[in-house]
């Protein structure tokens, strides 16, 4: 199994390390080109800055191929900025990939200095959740499953092959959400 991490900007190395920590036999590769994208069974879109990420995605000609792979069923996981890029609606902006029926509000949790570690249940696992200028999920569409809440807000959702978390599991030592995503890919390959 090969898992890619979109490597244009953001917390790329952290995700690659986490995947390796789950299972050394899994290939964890940075994705910057269409050819690299073609080799992966699943893709992580990391946290970072969604405006920068979407601009670079266009510049590297990755927008259309990524969207096509997701629509064709490739498992994808967006963390924080990645979640914003997956959403059908972004308050005050045009949507990007539009493959997940949620509405989001960027920087809902405030500024960098408002970053915090929350905790809560993710699909039956109690986890710490690192929020860094994270988006609010302001609406969850029908058929989208809420996997985690924190302070009474949805913070992790899934719709079929699309997983999204407003927080950063790659910033902790707990690789169980990476394991969950690998399970989504395992169910496909």
Catalytic residue set: 80, 168, 170
CB closer to ligand GLN out of 47 and 118 = 47
Q: How far is the CB of 137 from ligand GLN (least distance, A)?
A: 13
Provide the b/e sequence for 91-120 (b: ≥16 CB within 10 Å): eeeebbbbbbbbbbbbebbeeeeeeeebeb
Alpha helices per DSSP H over 62-175 = 63-71, 81-86
β-strand partners of 100:
87
Q: How far is the CB of 76 from ligand GLN (least distance, A)?
A: 16
User: Exposed, middle or buried by CB within 10 Å (0-12, 13-18, 19+), for 47?
Assistant: buried
Residue located via tokens 């900025």: 81
Q: Which residues bind ligand GLN (CB under 6 A)?
A: 47-50, 80-81, 84, 106-107, 132-133
Q: How far is the CB of 11 from ligand GLN (least distance, A)?
A: 8
């Amino acid at each position: 199994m090969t898992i890619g991490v979109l490597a244009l900007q953001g917390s790329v190395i952290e995700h690659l390390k986490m995947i390796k920590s789950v299972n050394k036999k899994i290939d964890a590769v940075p994705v910057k080109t269409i050819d690299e994208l073609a080799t992966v069974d699943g893709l992580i879109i990391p946290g970072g800055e969604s405006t920068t990420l979407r601009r670079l995605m266009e510049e590297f000609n990755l927008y259309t191929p990524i969207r096509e792979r997701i629509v064709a069923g490739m498992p994808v996981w967006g963390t924080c900025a990645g979640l914003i890029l997956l959403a059908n609606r972004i308050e005050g902006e045009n949507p990007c990939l539009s493959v997940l029926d949620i509405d989001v509000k960027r920087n809902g949790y405030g500024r960098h200095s408002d970053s915090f570690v929350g905790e809560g249940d993710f699909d039956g696992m109690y986890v710490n959740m690192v929020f860094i200028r994270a988006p609010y999920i302001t609406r969850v569409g029908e058929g989208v499953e809420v996997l985690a809440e924190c302070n009474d807000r949805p913070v992790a959702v899934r719709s079929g092959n699309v997983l999204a978390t407003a927080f950063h599991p790659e910033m902790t030592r707990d690789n169980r959400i990476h394991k969950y995503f690998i399970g989504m890919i395992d169910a496909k390959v």
